[in-house]
Structure 1
């Protein structure tokens, strides 16, 4: 790609989230398991509550849920004390085997993802990824996704970095190091959650939000197909507003729509613009 500005750079990589972005339309696997894990402690949370901190690493996700006043009150009433780190550990220990057992049921690739990854590679772009899932869960998910043609060049799990996970920039930057990217502005971060968008912004990357296939809408393709165009438009608008507020430069329905946005970002880079 030729430069039209002395400050222009070319795109080098796209870094993707997993659930709700590459696989698991609606990001259902982690959400339902949080509900089930809390229920096993006689704490009742809704799917909407479970979705609230989505994008965080799972221990931090549980911590955030227990900090919610309504959930904290339930814990106090059931256990006679406010939630502690020991309690977070206990729920996490219950959550992990449940998530490992169930993640395969929600591992289906989102329509158009495999083709988009193939297209990105045809343009010479590297493909990174990161997730709030711990490595034990990804060890189950990754071979199933690879069988569908979804196999990034690098994967970082939510429990692998001493610095922590989202909304910090660490997992995105770990991809930059592993993929040997020369400039963070040459990267696009694609994510369906608010912490994931914040991660990309803090890493200095172009950040693209995912609305309809992701956590912010949180429905299956079958459920989406039953909705009217007006209902879908309302869900899309609400999701886009949340992701834009987090800093997303662009918001698309799914990864299948990424090529058009990539062209826009390339044009801005050629004009010397940066995220």
Structure 2
């Protein structure tokens, strides 16, 4: 369901008139098909404390900042019960800090292994620049992790105009609008209603909606489906379709105006959004399609 770069159909010049900026998530959206890097490291970080967290559990809060993510996992009944059995008390903030301290070096060391661009990402970014549309990005990754990821992605042609990390805004991260709005300020976009947020997680979709933007969900390549490239290649078509449909439902329930399988299918959606912008339609009043 993803498109290889030679098959990527890009609308003609001028088709994005009215659209000012597109702000992307990273893992599962621009790079790291299946959003594998953060999920596997959460499993490893908790395991170092003797706590078993499944990949499915680790995926649940994806899109939040990593501290928020750890806190949310510690509140799950199965995880809390393990923590009480292991340490004889309820998990608290000092435990969030301790797990985060274990998580960070693991994530910095491993993120490079999952930095491969998702098919079409470099081409779409290049096309947007050619159309005069600014490109931003934000992530639940802390700045230290992004600083490892950004140059590796840039070498492969994935280099948005700006990047905001999940730990660098005092107001907080997703689902609040702050990282998306920080991109708007940095890029000099004049109207949030002419901006689009693209994300594979529900908090990321909510972030875009809370910022007053159009929001586009990513299903197949993202966290909600969760296939590695190898798993996707070997999966039965009916199983892939079932996961994609479940992801679409969750992303739409979070407020996505559109849902596409991957960034390779984004250009036609951006063209449709630009038409709606030129017609005077805004994201708050727009129906999902």
TM range (shorter): over 0.9
Matched residue SS, 1:144: helix
Instruction: Tell me how far 1:244 sits from its aligned partner.
Output: 0.3
SS at match of 1:15: strand
Task: Kindly indicate whether residue 177 of structure 2 is the aligned counterpart of residue 169 of structure 1.
Answer: yes
CA apart distance, 1:31: 0.1
Once the two structures are superposed, the pairs formed by residues 196-215 of structure 1 within 5 Å of their partners are 196-215=204-223
TM-score (norm 2): 0.92
Q: Which residue of 1 aligns with 2:165?
A: 157
Aligned ranges 1:50-69 → 2 under 5 Å: 50-69=58-77
State the shift of 1:149 in Å: 0.4
Secondary structure of 1:174's counterpart equals helix
Counterpart of 2:93 in structure 1 is 85
- Alpha-carbon distance in 2 for matches of 1:263, 1:11: 9
Q: SS at the partner of 1:98?
A: helix
Q: How many residues align?
A: 269
Partner of 2:196: 188
Q: Which digits, 9 at most, give the CA deviation of each residue in 1:132-156, with x for residues without a partner?
A: 0000001110000000000010000
Deviation at 1:228, TM superposition (A): 2.4
Consecutive unaligned residues in structure 1, runs of 5 or more? 3-8
Shift of 1:263: 1.1
Further displaced range: 224-233 or 187-196: 224-233
Match for 2:235 among 222, 227, 235? 227
Q: Does 1:20 align with 2:44?
A: no
Q: Secondary structure at the match of 2:61?
A: coil
Pairing partner for 2:273 from 254, 265, 269? 265
**Structure 2 stretches of 5 or more lacking a match?**
1-12, 284-289
Mapped to 2, the partners of 1:248 and 1:164 lie a distance apart of 22
Q: How far did 1:229 drift?
A: 2.2
- With normalisation by structure 1, the TM-score equals 0.96
**Cα RMSD over matched residues?**
1.1
Residue 238 of structure 1 is matched in structure 2 by 246
Separation in 2 of the partners of 1:66 and 1:231?
30
